[in-house]
Structure 1
Amino acid sequence: MRRPNRKYSVIGAFIGVLSTDSGVLKLLAYSVGRVLYNTQPDDYNPTEHPEHQEAGRHIADWLTAAVANREHWLSNVDELGRPKKLLKFPTMEAIVKEADKAMLRYIQKTREVALRNGDEEMVMTLDDGFHVVRLLTPAALDRESKEMQHCIGNGAYDDRLHDRRFQYLSLRDRNGKAHATLEVEGGRVIQLQGKQNRQPNREYLEAIAPLLRREEYLVQTDRTDLRYVYADDYKVVDAWDLTGCSEVIGDLRRSRAALKMPEKLRVRGEIDLSHCSFPEGFPSEVEADGSISIKECRPFTAPARIVSGGDLTIYDVLMEGDIAHCEAGGSVSFRKTSMDKLPRYLRFHGSLDLGKTGIESLAGLGYVAGSLSLEGARIESLPENIRIGGKLDASSSRLKEYPRTAKIGGDVDISYTQVAFLPPVTVKGKLNISSTKITVVPGGLVTHSLHATGLAMEHFGPKSIRGDLDLAYSSATLPHGLTVGGFLTLDNGSFGNLPDNLRAARIKANSAEVTSIGRGLVVEGNLAISGNPITTLPADMDVWGDIVAGQTLIETLPDGFECAGDLNLTDSCVTALPYGLRVGGSLCLHHNEIAELPENLVVGSDLTITCTDIRSIPECAEIGNRVRSDIPEIDSGWSKYNEVRHWRAQQAAAATMAVSP
């Protein structure tokens, strides 16, 4: 099965949060997913495109309404069951345009929505004739949708009316005209929309502030284009000028903006700033109840004190100054920053990512609850007895010695480092020592899987690897009795004679310097040995899957040779097949010097004989499926043989039925 690539997974995760309905998620995949996959680069990150998040929600609302209203176009599908309408859009903008058109059609249909008692209820009266009502029924949502020209109606949110976690509120003036729509989940306002999904005008935000204050609502939408935010007792302020503020009530999210910041700032939600600049500097003290993410912001002056209730991420910034005090309720990442030393006070409860930083020392760091990443960092050694709950990634760092006193709970990756000595340690996960200076792998090493590619090993001691063993592009002499619970990969390596009693779930040794295979070989899956100088196969080897031995120097197979799966001898030096050859799957004899097939040949599936000297198929041969050949007389003979075989099968079936009671 082909593993999904990174972009496919990222887009799938992005779509997955837009709806909880499996049918709507499929429609989003056919439209939004398809377009993003075809138009975005391989390193696509939805968090860097807030316009896609807003568009995705709008499209999800449209598709939810379409499903609820059973739109006829949903049944006009292609051969894979995909609505053809969704396959025509080349861009996200085109999908949004279609959603807007559909919204206008819905509004026209509901232009005369009549409300009854019980459709709405009063929540709070405000100054200047404003008041807030709660929308209780689908009819109330339809009326709001018609007046505000957004997608709250037409079935998109009807299911949530019965979910106690959600409330739908509308700000009305003295004449009953709607000016803002709120979606409330728990104590959070997750959507605050004006007409046509724009942010409401400032006067309407100020009008509704008493309700937010009374209920202590936090405004936590994921939009990064908002002009206003609530700060300091629900005062409405410009989002790009917070100089007179000390607290933001809700989330602070901005992208590609120049922000004026106060000296000290607390955010009662999350901070998400990307590609921003701070002309008057960044606050010296920052605190957020939720996560903090600061990415690709320049220039950036490091705050002396930063506290995050969730994860803390500072990524790809040229940092001026040092962080003295750092706390996080989750993980901390300073990846790809110019930070050259750890904060004097550092407390966190997850993983720590120092990849591609200028940090040279981890002095004072004794415990990491999650994983520790030092990939591409300047670290040469780890502190004595450091405890790491997850994995250690020190690949491409300046590490010079294996951290033998460290207690590591997961994988260890020291590939592409200067490490030259590997002690007999126990690794609970996967160990990667590829492209290091290690020449001896000790017999006392215990690890689930071992990746040791690109090494010139003088000694390889382990006799048992529970998972995979990857020795591609390496040279080594493997010990007799080696057992590999997973895949053994020897591609393009140099190993001479494979050991006796070797056992693995699968062996892949293409284009490797393997001159012979020892006795007692057991392969629980496929054996691939194409392109190496092997001349014979042992008679006692036991392969449970396919054997691919193309482009080898093998001239003969042992008498009575059996292959449970497919047998591929393409471009091999085999000149004759043994008596009693049995192949459970297909047999491919393309481009070799075989002149005839053995009389009692048994092939469970297809037989391919192209570019050979074979001119006939023995009458007693058993071919399970079909013969592929470039010789006309073989094709003709096979047709007659097939007819006889089918006739005999019919006769046998008839005889069985005749003696049945």
Structure 2
Amino acid sequence: MTAEADISEFIAGLDENDDIRRLLDLSVGRVLRAAEKRGEEFRPDHRKAAHVADWLRASFVRNETWLANVDDLKRPRKLLKFSRFEDIVKEADKAMRAANARDGVSSSGGGQTLYRDLEHGYRLVQLHTRDALQRESSRMGHCVGNGGYDYVLERKNEAIISLRDRHDKPHATLHISGDAILQMRGKQNKQPKADYITAMMPVISTMRNSSLFFGEFGFLVDTKGIRHQLTELPDGVEVDGSLVIVEGSVTTLPDNMTVHGRLRIENGKLAALPRGLTVKGSLEIDYNRKIRDLPSDLVVEGRLSMRRTRIKKIPAGLKAEALYATGSELEVIPEGFTVQGDLYLSRTRVKALPSGIFVGGVLGIGETKIEALPEDLSCGGIDARESALKAIPPKVVRGGPVDVSHTKLHFIPCDLKAVGRLDVSGTEISSLPFDISQVEQLVLARSGVTALPEELGRKELKFLDISDTSIRKIPSDIIKIGELTARRCNLDTISAGIEIESLNIEGSTTVLPDNLSVRHLRMGEAKIKKLPDGLTVFSSLYATGSDLTEIGQNVRVGTGFFDISKTDVECIPASLKVGIGYCAGIDVSKTRMIALPDLGDVKVDWLSIEKTSIRDVPAGWSIKNIRARGAPLSSVFGKVEKAYGVSRKHAAAFTARGVNVVPWGIRHALLAPYRLGLEIAAVIAIVYASFAPPPENDRPV
């Protein structure tokens, strides 16, 4: 499994709603991918990520206004500003506090019924109404209120339970489904105190805990309902559900231990895995730098993930559904090793594969020194990007994704069965396999492929990249392409009958047909003189720096951006339709335009006319922000809220019309770094002078 697949699985486990998953992917998923690319050893805290999911779910239910502030790809801008996972968590905390303060605590105490009486004056109550959830959220300082968990109230097999003392004061909140505990939180989303957990043990010990990682609380419950401290586990203990070991005090685990769910070891003090360990789910020991060996009798019915560990050898007797060893110090794979899932050895020290290996999923050997594959190897797919691979034997790949980008391969077998994705970019491969009818993503950029088959044997492609190739024609049977990237590629033409979601022809000479319809169009620095008649771009069009001189008739651009800056366009025809009542931005800066066209009612967030000859804003234009530096803008017949770069001569007239004129301050902007540089140089000179040795003639004899 790739890092991308790991992240996708992590996101999918946080919420079952596709809309919430998308928001999680744009926030948590995005920063995790960035961290992975930077090579950071970063593992997200599941509890904190669940807290973020609570915030996003509550925001979605409430239809918060920030969700409507999106970019041209319909991504909420608020989620794109985060660069660290901790920043997202802080935003979730801030939103939770604000929501609790805004909604307050209801004075009524209804909406709850007794779930179970406990000892010492404690009891569990079930919350039945939104007011009850909000009251719990405000008193506990977490996100069970605010709308995020209202859906639980409508489900017969789920419930929100609150631990109360004799004074009806809450101390812990549980989310249960049937006989399973899904979540258990104390105040401010922290762990409940040990005394409160002890009070709830009569209930906890009778429930299935498949999604509750008790290791987080320093104990576990075995299959007999007995509670054990993690530091005092008996031999042969069987864990009911999944277990995450995060406590630094745990240095050993008992022999013959069985975990009926997933076992994840996050602390760095555990130096060895016990003999006879059986994990019914997945075993995750990623980033552990003390474990050096795996037990020969280890059984993992799920996947074994040991990324960036110091383990050098896989024992011959190991049984695992899949193995992920990316970035580890692994050197040896046993002969005949078999996994039904993926085998990822990317960025390991493995230099050769033994015979008899069977991989049911994808074999990952990216960035390794493996040059050849065994003749008897069998794998579903292969990920060999940036490896030393020089050849692929016939009949090795049975049917799966194939990525051999940036390798030394000159050809691939004609019988290679690629399914899903085929990537040969950055290679000298010049011919494709006979059958690529099951390929949805085809990446040929900077390869030796000069032509595509007349027919691919399918009607749709999710992704096609032919950048920096001499390919000139799209197969005739293709009628739909999700994303077509043809940068610096000279396609003869693109059929108007092809449905394209996103088209990138930056730097190319591709001829666009009349009446072409796409969602996104990027053609910056393209050698194209005219936008075709009837062109429809449903979102954004970027043509900055292209050879564009003319806009065709009846061109339509959606609610995104219309950017023709740094072109030789002199005028825009009145038939241009921009936005559907609204447009995010129009940029005609550094063009030859002398006037804006009368387009009727146009609402624009940003309009840039910098360094043009445009003198006025026509009636019907409604602009929130206009940049006019270097343009002779002198009058406004439409509506402008804020103007930047207006000359001093016309500033008063603009102000009189209700325009907020903002001084450009370019001189100050340019002088500021210069002045700062002088100050830094002066400080350096002073420090150097205080530590530098005196000149020769000033030294004592």
TM-score with structure 1 length normalisation? 0.61
Letter in 2 for 1:268: H
SS across alignment from 1:472: coil
Deviation sequence 1:136-155 (CA, Å, 0-9, x none): 75598789889978776798
Letter in 2 for 1:472: S
Matched with 1:412 is: 402
Letter in 2 for 1:164: K
Matched with 1:277 is: 269
SS across alignment from 1:325: coil
Matched with 2:347 is: 356
Residue 105 (structure 2) pairs with residue 113 (structure 1): no
Query: Deviation of residue 395 (structure 1)?
Result: 1.5
Contact 1:394-1:413 at 8 Å conserved across structures: yes
Matched with 2:35 is: 43
Letter in 1 for 2:93: V
SS across alignment from 1:361: coil
**How far, CA to CA, are the matches of 2:325 and 2:97 in structure 1?**
41
Contact 1:132-1:169 at 8 Å conserved across structures: no
Deviation sequence 1:99-143 (CA, Å, 0-9, x none): 468769989645x8379xx932547x77xx678656375598789
- Among 410, 422, 435, the alignment partner of 2:426 is 435
**How far, CA to CA, are the matches of 1:611 and 1:20 in structure 2?**
46
Contact 1:294-1:315 at 8 Å conserved across structures: yes
Residue 449 (structure 2) pairs with residue 454 (structure 1): no
Letter in 2 for 1:412: V
Matched with 1:96 is: 93
Deviation sequence 1:428-447 (CA, Å, 0-9, x none): 44432223343x42795756
SS across alignment from 2:277: strand
SS across alignment from 1:218: coil
- Cα distance change, pair 156–565 in 1 and its aligned pair in 2 (3 A): closer
- Among 289, 292, 312, the alignment partner of 1:298 is 289
- Cα distance change, pair 282–603 in 1 and its aligned pair in 2 (3 A): same
Letter in 1 for 2:45: H
Contact 1:46-1:53 at 8 Å conserved across structures: no
- Cα distance change, pair 166–344 in 1 and its aligned pair in 2 (3 A): farther
Contact 1:442-1:460 at 8 Å conserved across structures: no
Query: Deviation of residue 375 (structure 1)?
Result: 1.8
Output the aligned Cα RMSD: 6.3
Residue 43 (structure 2) pairs with residue 52 (structure 1): no
Residue 257 (structure 2) pairs with residue 236 (structure 1): no
Deviation sequence 1:500-536 (CA, Å, 0-9, x none): xx66459xxxxxxxxxxxxxxx9988999886899xx
- Cα distance change, pair 569–208 in 1 and its aligned pair in 2 (3 A): closer
Matched with 2:244 is: 253
Matched with 1:289 is: 280
Q: How many residues align?
A: 554
Letter in 2 for 1:305: D
Letter in 1 for 2:218: R
Matched with 1:516 is: none
- Among 305, 314, 327, the alignment partner of 1:313 is 305
Letter in 1 for 2:400: G
**How far, CA to CA, are the matches of 2:372 and 2:44 in structure 1?**
35
Q: Structure 2 stretches of 5 or more lacking a match? A: 71-75, 557-561, 578-587, 602-608, 619-701
Contact 1:50-1:224 at 8 Å conserved across structures: no
Query: Deviation of residue 361 (structure 1)?
Result: 0.8
TM-score with structure 2 length normalisation? 0.58
Between Structure 1 and Structure 2, whose CA radius of gyration is higher? Answer: 1
Matched with 1:366 is: 358
Letter in 1 for 2:346: G
- Cα distance change, pair 223–156 in 1 and its aligned pair in 2 (3 A): farther
Query: Deviation of residue 97 (structure 1)?
Result: 6.2
**How far, CA to CA, are the matches of 2:96 and 2:565 in structure 1?**
57
Residue 217 (structure 2) pairs with residue 226 (structure 1): yes
Contact 2:265-2:284 at 8 Å conserved across structures: yes
SS across alignment from 2:217: coil
Query: Deviation of residue 274 (structure 1)?
Result: 3.0
Deviation sequence 1:445-481 (CA, Å, 0-9, x none): 7565653333457x7684445657644345x587999
- Cα distance change, pair 432–53 in 1 and its aligned pair in 2 (3 A): closer
Letter in 2 for 1:325: G
- Among 299, 314, 318, the alignment partner of 1:322 is 314
SS across alignment from 2:306: strand
Contact 1:58-1:99 at 8 Å conserved across structures: no
Contact 1:443-1:463 at 8 Å conserved across structures: no
Q: Identity of counterpart residues, as a percentage?
A: 20
Q: Structure 1 stretches of 5 or more lacking a match? A: 1-5, 68-73, 507-521, 617-621, 637-661
Deviation sequence 1:229-255 (CA, Å, 0-9, x none): 234744433335647673333322134
**How far, CA to CA, are the matches of 1:492 and 1:33 in structure 2?**
31
- Cα distance change, pair 252–563 in 1 and its aligned pair in 2 (3 A): same
- Cα distance change, pair 95–216 in 1 and its aligned pair in 2 (3 A): closer
Matched with 1:267 is: 259
Contact 1:107-1:145 at 8 Å conserved across structures: no
